[in-house]
Structure formats: structure tokens, C-alpha cells
């Protein structure tokens, strides 16, 4: 079975340059395929949810 290439902050699709910068600052150079990041705020900025290397943008409702 062939392993796929790691997904990093630089290669994941669906993020803005600022989101990439914040993610790399907070989590370093990790393989995003095995991570789930939900409701993560970095320096007051909310990152989109990332589940197994896939960006998931949902409309959040104010409580």
C-alpha cells in the first residue's frame, strides 16, 4: 500500500496565507492528516476547523 504525502500548513488547500502563518506558529511543521483542530483561536483569530488534513468551514452561530 502506497502512503500519501504529508499535509502541512504550506500544502493544505482552503486556508488563507494568514491562517497558514498562524497555524504554523502555533503547531509547527506537523502532518495535518492525523490531527483534528476544532474551535482553535490563535492570537484572537479563529482558525477554520481542520479534520484529518481537510479544512472544514462552517457558519458559526453566536451563542
Tens of pLDDT, residues 44-60: 999 999 998 999 997 66
Q: Is 15 contained in some domain?
A: yes
Q: Is 20 exposed, middle or buried (0-12, 13-18, 19+ CB in 10 A)?
A: middle
Q: Is 63 contained in some domain?
A: no
Domain that holds residue 9: 1-58
Task: Identify the pLDDT of residue 13.
Answer: 94
Bigger pLDDT: 41 or 1? 41
Q: Is 8 exposed, middle or buried (0-12, 13-18, 19+ CB in 10 A)?
A: middle
Tens of pLDDT, residues 14-43: 999 999 999 999 999 999 998 899 999 998
Report the DSSP beta bridge partners of residue 55. Answer: 50
Split into its structural domains, the chain has a count of 1
Question: What is the DSSP track for 1-49?
Answer: -PPPPP--TTT-TT--HHHHHHHHHHH-S--GGG-EE-S-EETTEEPPE
Task: Identify the pLDDT of residue 34.
Answer: 87
Amino acid at each position: 500500500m502506497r502512503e500519501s504525502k504529508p499535509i502541512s500548513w504550506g500544502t493544505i488547500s482552503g486556508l488563507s496565507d494568514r491562517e497558514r502563518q498562524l497555524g504554523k506558529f502555533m503547531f509547527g511543521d506537523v502532518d495535518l492528516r492525523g490531527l483534528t483542530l476544532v474551535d482553535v483561536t490563535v492570537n484572537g483569530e479563529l482558525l477554520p476547523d481542520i479534520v484529518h488534513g481537510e479544512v472544514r468551514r462552517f457558519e458559526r452561530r453566536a451563542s
